[in-house]
Amino acid sequence: MSEKTPRTVVVTGASSGIGAVAAARLAERGDRVAVVGRNPERTRAVAESIGGAAFVADFTRFDEVRELASALSERYEAIDVLLNNAGGLISTRTDTVDGHEATIQSNYLSPYLLTRMLLPRLEESARRGGTARVVSTSSMANRWGRIDLTDLDSTDRPWRGGWRGYGTAKLAVVLFIRELARRTAAREGVPGVDAYSLHPGTIVTNFGSGSPLIRFGTKVTGGRWGTTADVGAAPLVALAADSPVPAVSGVYFDRLRANGAVARAADDVELQHALWAKTAEIVGLPI
């Protein structure tokens, strides 16, 4: 019996925290892992430690995301899983070189761009009978997000330590994944690409280290206000693993529980479609 060909799994935000743990766990399962991170030294260190390949990109720059997509497409004929885990909470409002608020760009706009550009490789995985799956890290914070298609950068709203913008970005992820699931569903005998979003849990890592609220919580609890990166990575690994997901494509998971609580707007099919179209316009892709 011939050995099974290793799957190709791309993990973004993999230079530290739950992304690094997920990359290591998937590599232990025999997957060929592309480790994507912003910090060159940490990204290469993680890749070397798990026998993966390092790819460096800053998700606050569309040009680097496009270069990343090109590099991945050139190296891999098929991609079985794209695990979109890059992003985070930015406590001080910052605009990127592309003219967008950094939270919405790093958590949503750039992952959307990367996913769209890698779809041909994911579709090739589907044709070969591979996993063909997109898994995107969202958050329970999606419940306080608010999507205004005329102001995705939240220029007209109070910043409040970045929490509102973070919630909006994570709601955008849920909406995007639901629209992606519909657009890439299997039809007429052609295999599809499945898509899922998830809340990994409340994790004590470097996430939100610039937030006064998180720093205060860490101080008064001795860092015990959340769980570890090992525990937080478990839902990412479960959804990216080479096994069936116990839910239909498009579902949002609260850790390992399907159909977690989402903002009411997440169920708005018209908003899902409109956000997709608006984002395509922003990143310069066809609808």
Catalytic center residues: 166
Consecutive H or E run containing 281:
helix 269-283
- CB atoms near residue 2 (< 10 Å): 4
Q: What tokens does 53 get?
A: 């390949």
Q: Give backbone dihedrals phi and psi of 73, rounded to 5 degrees, phi first.
A: -65, -35
Question: Which residues have C-beta within 8 Å of that of residue 2, sequence separation ≥ 6?
Answer: none
Give the whole-angstrom CA distance, residue 176 versus residue 252.
Answer: 11
The answer to whether the beta carbons of residues 225 and 202 sit under 8 Å apart is yes
Consecutive H or E run containing 83:
strand 81-84
The answer to whether the beta carbons of residues 199 and 140 sit under 8 Å apart is yes
- What does DSSP say about strands 194-199 and 252-254: parallel, antiparallel, or unpaired? parallel
Q: What tokens does 284 get?
A: 């310069």
Q: What tokens does 17 get?
A: 């925290």
Question: Which residues have C-beta within 8 Å of that of residue 269, sequence separation ≥ 6?
Answer: none
The residue written with tokens 């890592």 in the block is 205
